[in-house]
Amino acid sequence: MRSMPTPGFATAEGTADYRARFAAALPPTHFRDFRGVSLSSIGLGTYLGEPDPETDRLYREAVIRAVGLGCNVVDSAINYRFQRSERAVGEALRALFADGGVRREELVVATKGGYVSFDGGYPANPNAYFTETFVRSGVARPEDLVAGCHCMTPAYLKHQLRRSLENLGLTSVDIYYLHNPEQQLDEVRRAEFTRRMRAAMAVLEEEAAAGRLRVYGTATWNGYRVPPGAGGHLSLQELTGLAREVAGEGHHFRVIQLPLNLAMPEALTHATQALDGEPVPALTAAARLGTYVMASASLLQSRLTRGMPPFLGEILAGLETDAQRALQFVRSAPGLGTALVGMKQEAHVLENLATARVPPAPLEQFERLFTKRG
Ligand SMILES: NC(=O)c1ccc[n+]([C@@H]2O[C@H](COP(=O)([O-])OP(=O)(O)OC[C@H]3O[C@@H](n4cnc5c(N)ncnc54)[C@H](OP(=O)(O)O)[C@@H]3O)[C@@H](O)[C@H]2O)c1
């Protein structure tokens, strides 16, 4: 039998208490304020890994360990490891709340919907799974699917959010992302895409009103990184305007996720966003529009953890390993809120959270990365 879901959500007071517990160990700049809530500048991601019980255990333990070391942001998605990542996060949260040391109000839990989510493993017959799970129950029609794997109709999103809450053992997620909505642009025209986004936003606003999510956003890969005119381009200003049309100034479209790392600096360096006609990088657009930004793939899926040029260590001083420097780069980027890093091995959790003891690089130091060539 499933246990009762844990009620509540991250609050200003709860996250301030969490931050205060680390006051002696971590510099205050490790935490960022967003609409009163304190979020750690390093968050734990749960994308990679085998869909097996051992990986479930590793993620469960990693979340518990990371929360104990000053990480109060956990990121998942319903399709990660066929729902197993969300379930592992759910187990970790239950354990953290059960021993009384951590309260729901202290943690920012994010997840995503939009991809077809299998259940525990890859099904022998994915089409039959889709028909059985979604078509027969009236949740989705085959024609709602894009690229055979992506769906963001209101009915599908409502269903997926409820399933995510079950997996996480919560009544509310702090952030719910539309997962890679730019995928839809592979197959549908802009006008239809906008219609679908508007419908998705309308249903997510309803879910916010019902208390099942606190804010929503778009988790993206290419969307905000590619310039206007490129196939999958997303305009943050247009999407924010759409949310305003749907729900007024009090809309809940407040967070985006995009890749940012030493090898993918576009969100910082490329003017891919038009803001009132002015070309600016995505981080600048987000800052001006009041949108919180989480970076995905901070370590380029571990490829930035070894063999980096020595000048990185000279500029990003006080850190011992390439992984820490790669993470330091991301969390020091002006306008970036939280750098997400996938970590399930305890040694990685310890190494990555040790970065939090060093304040993010000041702007002047950070800018030297772009002038000095190793
Ligand atoms: N479009 C999207 O929405 C999108 C796309 C990609 C990622 N994300 C989110 O962003 C999170 C981070 O991205 P990611 O997981 O793809 O990539 P990542 O954070 O760049 O790299 C994760 C990989 O690096 C390894 N690692 C972690 N710390 C390390 C260290 N100190 N030394 C050596 N290796 C280390 C991890 O190993 P272990 O796990 O074995 O510890 C894992 O294999 C994801 O988990 C997900 O939550 C979202």
Q: Which token pair is 303?
A: 């490829």
Q: In whole angstroms, how large is the CA radius of gyration of the chain? A: 20
Helix residue ranges per DSSP H, 131-235: 154-168, 190-209
Whole-number Å distance between alpha carbons of 282 and 268? 7
Q: Is the pLDDT of residue 66 over 60?
A: yes
Q: Which CATH number fits domain 14-368: 3.40.1030.10, 3.40.718.10, 3.30.750.24, 3.20.20.100?
A: 3.20.20.100
Mean pLDDT of 151-175: 98
Asked if residue 138 lies in contact with residue 155, where contact means CB atoms within 8 angstroms, the answer is yes
Residues in the chain: 374
Residue closest via CA to ligand 1's atom 24 equals 302
Asked if residue 44 lies in contact with residue 69, where contact means CB atoms within 8 angstroms, the answer is no
Predicted confidence band of residue 373 (pLDDT cuts 50, 70, 90) = low
Class of residue 197 by CB neighbours under 10 A (exposed 0-12, middle 13-18, buried 19+): buried
Residue closest via CA to ligand 1's atom 27 equals 343
Mean pLDDT of 333-340: 98
Closest C-alpha among 293, 279, 284, 191 to residue 227: 279
Ligand 1 neighbourhood includes 348 CB (under 6 angstroms) = yes
Mean pLDDT of 132-139: 96
Please give the pLDDT value at position 186.
Answer: 94
Please give the pLDDT value at position 2.
Answer: 64
For 207-231, the pLDDT digits (tens) are 999 999 999 999 999 999 999 999 9
Q: What percentage of the chain exceeds 70 in pLDDT?
A: 99
Mean pLDDT of 121-125: 95
Q: What is the CA(345)–ligand 1 centre distance, in A? A: 11
Pocket perturbation via mutation, ligand 1, pick of 178, 302, 351 by most ligand atoms within 8 A of CB: 302
* Paired residues of 279 in beta bridges: 274
Residue closest via CA to ligand 1's atom 30 equals 348
Ligand 1 neighbourhood includes 262 CB (under 6 angstroms) = no
Whole-number Å distance between alpha carbons of 14 and 353? 21
Domain boundaries, the chain: 14-368
Q: Which token pair is 367?
A: 């800018």
Please give the pLDDT value at position 374.
Answer: 44
Please give the pLDDT value at position 150.
Answer: 97
Ligand 1 neighbourhood includes 60 CB (under 6 angstroms) = no
Please identify, by atom number, the ligand 1 atom nearest to the C-alpha of residue 219.
3
Q: Is the pLDDT of residue 372 over 80?
A: no
Q: What is the CA(187)–ligand 1 centre distance, in A? A: 29
Q: What is the CA(296)–ligand 1 centre distance, in A? A: 8
Residue closest via CA to ligand 1's atom 47 equals 45
Ligand 1 neighbourhood includes 296 CB (under 6 angstroms) = yes
Ligand 1 neighbourhood includes 75 CB (under 6 angstroms) = yes
Ligand 1 neighbourhood includes 342 CB (under 6 angstroms) = yes
* DSSP assigned state of 131: I
Mean pLDDT of 260-266: 97
What torsion do the CA atoms of 180, 181, 185, 190 make, to the nearest 10 degrees? -150
pTM beyond cutoff 0.85: yes
